[in-house]
Chain A
Amino acid sequence: MASMNMIQAINSALDVTMGRDPDIVVFGEDVGYFGGVFRCTAGLQKKYGKTRVFDTPIAEGGIVGTAIGMGAYGLRPVIEIQFADYIYPAFDQLVSEAARLRYRSGGGFHAPLTVRAPCGGGIFGGQTHSQSPEAIFTHVCGLKTVMPSTPYDAKGLLIAAIEDDDPVIFLEPKRIYNGPFDGHHERPLTPWAKHPAGEVPEDYYRIELGQASIVRPGAQLTVLAYGTMVHVCLAAAEEAGVDAEVIDLRSLVPLDLDTIARSVQKTGRCVIAHEASRTGGFGAELMAQVQEACFWHLEAPIERVTGWDTPYPHAFEWTYFPGPARVAKAMKNVVEA
């Protein structure tokens, strides 16, 4: 075991898998010599050489398109999109190509790629360094979408994503790269070194995609969250004095509906939280599935806490961000309903 922040855990996942499988290649803007603007690929080029870890032209559509071609050859590309906000030029390659290749070729071809992209706000990055576009991808049939909330999970999930034979969108909440940010931006950040999930095995391990994790067992209500919002919800439960069962989804597609339904059937109450905007957000899908699976157990309307339906602002970052106060309020509403 070693103490790792999320950047180091991601780096370790890449290192461990590259060491085991010579077909894994890693590329993207600034990922080679420099090791990525967030340093997630630091040292890999030196260790595995320039033909397995390399910089690319600034062309996200080109990065994904060539990754699909390499996958068709038999390689296993792990590509980085510098910010999730810059993934849109690759949209056609992801949606029309990677996602459907297996289906349209009757299984004759597939796209075993992993697309890593830092997502989420909280760094005063304005609208082009803060987005959470997960719902755009969960809507696409044929893509898996994953978002870790701790270094331990990040490594295990990334290894599983890389080894997956289908395309996986692996979104990394950059606000928790260095510590479990709980939404209290006015307080100093606790580093991962002080968190149990900052203890990460140096060797290979997998966390299967499609398995949620109950990060805080509770009896009064179920909270569904992922990424940074897991930590915000834990803080909110504490502050609201509510015995919440907080579930970290970890993987949105495939979704661990069993764990979710078991919990909601037990508590009868549910709050859903995400940083992304509200309309058509993944919370809407979760609400629908919880309602389908748990209607007769529900004792209160389900509530959603989300970003507002506006582009991500610069100055009003903390008015936009669904912090612990808003989550706590929703928890109380649902418990008291």
Chain B
Amino acid sequence: MTSSAHEPGAALRLHVPEPKARPGEVPDFSGMSVPPAGTLARPPIDADEPALREYPYALIRVLDDAQRAVGPWAPALTPERLRAGLRHMMLTRAFDDRMLRVQRQGKTSFYMKSTGEEAVAVAQAYALDDGDMLFPSYRQQGLLIARDWPLVDLMCQIFSNPGDRLKGRQLPVMYSVPEKNFFSISGNLGTQFPQAVGWAMASAIKGDTRIAASWVGDGTTAEGDVHYALTFAAVYQAPVLLNVVNNQWAISSFQGFAGGERTTFAARAIGYGVPGLRVDGNDFLAVYAVTQWAAERARRNYGPTLIELVTYRAAAHSTSDDPSAYRPQDEAARWPLGDPVERLKQHLIGLGAWSEAQHEALARELEEHVKAQLREAEALGTLGTPPAGVESLFEDVFKDMPPHLQRQLAELKGA
């Protein structure tokens, strides 16, 4: 900007954010600071929020450039548990890859991958208890996979087939699994955030020990619901983890359109008096450690935490999207925080607890597992196979079907 823009009487100018690189340009992450791993202290879980104000502007990292776990945030996870985490991340990726192909084959209408973001859902599921309630967005399929929910059930939902527990009512990936404390996913962005706070408040009202967690994307932080959630969480010190998955993009809009040019998403917490932690979202160990810290804090009645998970949406937004129209094609490859699967793999190899050969064997095994589950799901039908009788269209609008719906059902059947 020229100085004349800032002189008294200057003509006002509208600032419209612009990402550093567009298609055909060289990806540019030069503005992003990636501090060395292991340098930040791990504060006590009862620390007052004012003592935590450096964290929203920092980046908690455990795995260093050689993928060794360093510093006070390094969690005490056994190699066995790390291998299990790796497996769940790889399973999530294999599932996503297969489901994309299935959609391309016309067997369903729509799909959304979480490629590059697997550490977020899997490590966070690991750090939470199975009884904790999850209010996810559409990109946390890894939560269900980490909780060992059968893929075939997810596939049946994707196919809207007779095995679909949602009776063909929902768009693919909008799962709902009460058995795994996984709340019904909404297509309307951000709505789940205050709902998670309400669940956590209820848990506190009843003197329960379970906490809640919710996830929104960087773009979604702009919705009013996100701010309602933070206000209520702060006011009632609700035992809840509010996670912002900053994968840099919201369809075609880079995170600058959600305010990311001015400050961090974690720093939003400061205005509410809520601790904000910013973490390397592609570092399984760091994500685990930060989530565990916040969960412990919530469990001990020290209130909510806002966590920003810095990651990158490596795939298209959805099967309806083509990112080559708005971002450089090789941007994912240049992402400074690497790939979460690759990093945990190298970490385990460094520990002497994993090898390339084992990794390849596991990848093959998981692919076979996904295929086997797919055969089972496809045996029940793909999109187009009615999930149930037509009466199911009218069921669950209300608990009991009121007369006007009974009449409409009769009309449909008579037609």
Contacts and interface: CB of A to CB of B under 8 A. Distances in A.
A126 B171 contact: yes
Contacts of B205: none
Given A33-B22, A128-B187, A59 B224 contact: yes
B393 A33 contact: no
Interface stretch (A10-18, A264-272, A312-320): A312-320
Interface string A27-66: 0011011100100000000000011001111110110000
Given A126-B187, A315-B160, A33 B169 contact: no
Given A57-B222, A308-B408, A127 B415 contact: no
B51 interface: no
Given A89-B224, A308-B394, A319-B393, A313 B168 contact: yes
Interface in B234-272: 250-253, 257-259
B174 interface: yes
Contacts of A29: 250-251, 253
A325 B411 CA distance: 13
Contacts of B187: 85, 126-129
B10 interface: no
B354 to A, nearest CB: 40
A127 B170 contact: yes
A238 B119 CA distance: 57
Interface residues of A, number: 41
A287 to B, nearest CB: 16
Contacts, number: 128
Interface of B is mostly: loop
Contacts of B408: 278, 308-309
A325 B171 contact: no
Interface string B376-388: 0000000100110
B415 A314 contact: no
A88 B169 contact: no
Most A C-beta atoms less than 10 A away, residue of B257, B325, B412: B257
Contacts of A128: 171, 186-188
Interface of A: 29-30, 32-34, 37, 50-51, 54-59, 61-62, 85-86, 88-89, 124-129, 278-279, 308-311, 313-316, 319-320, 325-326, 329
- 9 nearest A-B residue pairs (beta carbon): A315-B168, A128-B187, A126-B171, A57-B222, A34-B252, A315-B160, A124-B109, A59-B222, A50-B16
15 contacts: A29-B253, A34-B253, A58-B189, A85-B187, A124-B110, A124-B383, A126-B170, A126-B187, A308-B405, A310-B393, A310-B394, A310-B397, A314-B171, A315-B160, A319-B390
